Amino acid sequence: MDFLSNDKLVIVGAAGMIGSNMAQTAIMMRLTPNICLYDPYLPALEGVAEELYHSGFEGVNLTFTNDVAEAFTGADYIVSSGGAARKAGMTREDLLKGNAEIAEEFGKNVRKYCPDVKHIVVVFNPADITGLIALLYSGLKPQQVSTLAALDSTRLQHELAKYFNIPADKIVNSRTYGGHGEQMAVYASTTTVDGQPLTDIIGTEALPRQEWEEMRQRVIQGGKHIIDLRGRSSFQSPAYLSIEMIAAAMGGKPFRWPVGTYVNNGHFNHIMMAMETTLDRNGVHYKEVEGTPEEKAELDKSYHHLCKLRDEVIAMGVLPPIPEWHKLNPNID
């Protein structure tokens, strides 16, 4: 039974819908035999663990605990969906305060119990903010912390595939950047549709501008749409994609979608957001985002929205003022 690595992977929030799916996904991907499920709520956590034991997976050393010290000690990789879930009617931002505090605690636990962790992926929303908080409190390097942002790009891919009635594989390099919230920047210029640039198609009969605008809204509201249809927040897609991120960070298949990362490049400063990235054994690294002037303006808008959220968190006292970030985490300029 081959595994990609022998490293310890900790799944935080494993009693929940996303976390339990992450665990199954990680086992099925054969990332590592050493998987530890952590959740403060023990009964449901044990229920999830039992389900996985009852699946009869071979060669797996699956453990579970509600003791964070036991879970985090020796962790090489952590993926956390351990926040409160978004309920019908809530925006991602409504979750801000509660999940900001959970992220602070999470980062502190990383620093305390597994300062040598290689990479952590933060999934709970608003992920741009919870990821930033986790980065600051963990003391890790920016390239060691990433957030799930891919879902918006995959939703764009799917909306285009559906609209043009072609396989999703023929929609190449669909991208959204910036925030993972409702102020995301949905790009067109990066994408080709069956080999043709999407920007050449928008505004023609094949895709009138109005239709494109509606499609952009559907991408932005993609998470809400799942809640409306299914009566529950999406869990399969965030779980699957975040474990693909862990696989990439472990040196497996390169991750094909944007990743939320800490950005401080003179234009976007002291922020965590989706960029054009590579995610591999060396962690996450971003490139400058290319785009039309309109797209860049959209991305600036998304960035400013994130700055507002960040500043709210500073005002709450969860994060110190930016000039003091370096004291909290010396890896942050």
163, 193 contact by CB (below 8 A): no
Q: In the complex with its own copies, which residue's Cβ is closer, 20 or 81?
A: 20
Name the segment binding its own copies (CB under 8 A); options: 14-22, 77-85, 118-126, 268-276: 14-22
Task: Report if residue 150 touches its own copies, rule: CB under 8 A.
Answer: yes
Element (H, E) at 220: helix 209-220
Q: In the complex with its own copies, which residue's Cβ is closer, 40 or 43?
A: 43
Q: Tell me which residue has tokens 């594989």.
A: 169
Among 5, 144, 157, 277, binds its own copies (CB under 8 A): 157
CA distance readout (Å), 229 to 24, 73, 85, 223, 224: 24, 40, 16, 10, 9
Helix axes 209-220, 150-164, angle to 10 degrees: 140
Task: Report if residue 195 touches its own copies, rule: CB under 8 A.
Answer: no
Task: Report if residue 115 touches its own copies, rule: CB under 8 A.
Answer: no
Among 5, 65, 109, 154, binds its own copies (CB under 8 A): 154
The residues that bridge with 62 in the sheet, in sequence order, are 35
Task: Report if residue 236 touches its own copies, rule: CB under 8 A.
Answer: yes
Task: Report if residue 6 touches its own copies, rule: CB under 8 A.
Answer: no
Q: Tell me which residue has tokens 């699957």.
A: 240
Task: Report if residue 50 touches its own copies, rule: CB under 8 A.
Answer: yes
Sheet containing 196-197: order of strands: 171-172, 192-193, 196-197
Task: Report if residue 256 touches its own copies, rule: CB under 8 A.
Answer: yes
Among 6, 40, 47, 200, binds its own copies (CB under 8 A): 47
Q: In the complex with its own copies, which residue's Cβ is closer, 231 or 317?
A: 231
Q: In the complex with its own copies, which residue's Cβ is closer, 63 or 189?
A: 63
Structure tokens at 88: 């019908």
Amino acid at 278: T
Task: Report if residue 246 touches its own copies, rule: CB under 8 A.
Answer: no
Task: Report if residue 34 touches its own copies, rule: CB under 8 A.
Answer: no
Task: Report if residue 315 touches its own copies, rule: CB under 8 A.
Answer: no
Among 59, 98, 208, 251, binds its own copies (CB under 8 A): 59
Closest approach, Cβ 147 to its own copies, in A, equals 16
Amino acid at 67: D
Among 54, 266, 293, 327, binds its own copies (CB under 8 A): 54
Q: Give me the count of residues in the chain.
A: 333
Closest approach, Cβ 44 to its own copies, in A, equals 5
| Residue 129: CA count within 13 A, CB half-sphere | 29
How much of the chain is in helix, strand and coil states, percent to nearest 5?
Answer: 45, 20, 35
Q: In the complex with its own copies, which residue's Cβ is closer, 55 or 265?
A: 55
Name the segment binding its own copies (CB under 8 A); options: 24-32, 102-110, 202-210, 325-333: 24-32
Q: Alpha-carbon distance 314 to 333, whole Å?
A: 17
Closest approach, Cβ 74 to its own copies, in A, equals 19
CA distance readout (Å), 203 to 143, 199, 210, 212, 299: 39, 8, 8, 8, 21
Q: In the complex with its own copies, which residue's Cβ is closer, 167 or 266?
A: 167
Residue ranges that bind its own copies, judged by CB under 8 A = 15, 20-21, 24-25, 28-29, 43-44, 46-48, 50-56, 58-61, 150-151, 154-155, 157-158, 161, 167-169, 222, 225-226, 228-231, 234-237, 240-241, 256-257
